[in-house]
Structure 1
Amino acid sequence: MEQREGYKRELYKHWNKGLDAGDGCDTRREVIISEAIKAPVVTAGCKLTGGSWLSPYDGVTVSDAGKLDVDHMVPLAEVHDSGGYAWDAGRREAYANDQGSPSTLIAVTAKSNRSKSDKDPAQWLPPAADYRCTYAAEWTGTKLRWELAADEAERQALLALAGECPTTTVVYGTAP
């Protein structure tokens, strides 16, 4: 059962010190660095210059890290609706900064992330049609990894996508 009551973005502390607390980069920047198709130069304070990225949601190549958002594959509001409302602060922070799975956090154009907002696959799909099968698998894997529920409209949308993606496999590991 999904429940939005009590949701506040601040409950999900995100962009903590990341995997390497000594590198000066927060989770957001670590994700951006890890997803570069051409590595940026990283200077003091984790300032990024150069580099390039492919935003899979819309197929846009970006050469300025400042034009990227790091999206939670399953948005924080949707996580809350789907079971995160019962989590303690530590588990919420763990989800919001999860780099243990390449699917939970993804660097995309700010425009595509804002278009998606907190919508589930029944309400929004990536404009890049060739990414939709991957998107559905990564969404499902993230939900399974974090033991989150799916409402009926979301479940039906994912089943329809699965029918269009017969060779796509959902891969996930258990969340910490």
Structure 2
Amino acid sequence: MVPLAEVHDSGGYGWTTERRRRYANDLGSDVTLVGVIARSNRQKSDQDPATRMPSLAVYCRYIGEWVATKHRWAQAEREALLEHAAAECPNANITFERAS
């Protein structure tokens, strides 16, 4: 969900090689790794929600999964994203389990 380059820019540059490997291969959450078609992946690239948002049809799901992934991996901007999700998607239920 959250591209490796964006994780790096959000503080992941300070992660150990092992933690980066665990993030890149995280199968412990349904939302950390999301399969998409190549065209969609190219359009999104390594952009974050501040520079690219999907259509309104999937907006709440997208922001919810982004926030859950940020919480799971204790990334810096997770609080701002959580506030944004709460304002735009008041019925969203964001659940996550901390990554080790």
Name the CA distance, whole Å, in 1 between partners of 2:82 and 2:62. 10
Residue 106 of structure 1: aligned partner: 34
1:158 Cα offset (Å): 5.8
Q: TM-score, normalised by structure 2?
A: 0.89
1:170 Cα offset (Å): 1.1
- Fraction of identical pairs, as percent: 52
| Among candidates 85, 94, 97, match of residue 173 of structure 1 | 97
| Among candidates 83, 98, 121, match of residue 49 of structure 2 | 121
1:162 Cα offset (Å): 2.8
Distance 1:160 1:145, change over 3 A: closer
Q: Which of the two has greater strand per residue? A: 1
Distance 1:117 1:158, change over 3 A: farther
Q: Contact 2:11–2:75 (CA<8 Å) still a contact in 1? A: yes
Is there any run of 5+ residues in structure 1 with no aligned partner, and where?
1-72
- Superposition RMSD on alpha carbons, in Å? 1.9
| Dislocated runs of 4+, deviation >6 Å | none
Distance 1:94 1:141, change over 3 A: same
Q: Which has the higher contact order (CA 8 A, sep 6+)?
A: 2
Number of aligned positions between the proteins: 100
Residue 148 of structure 1: aligned partner: 75
Q: Which is greater in Rg? A: 1
Q: Which of the two has greater helix per residue? A: 2
Q: Which amino acid in the other structure matches residue 88 of structure 2? A: E
Q: TM-score, normalised by structure 1?
A: 0.53
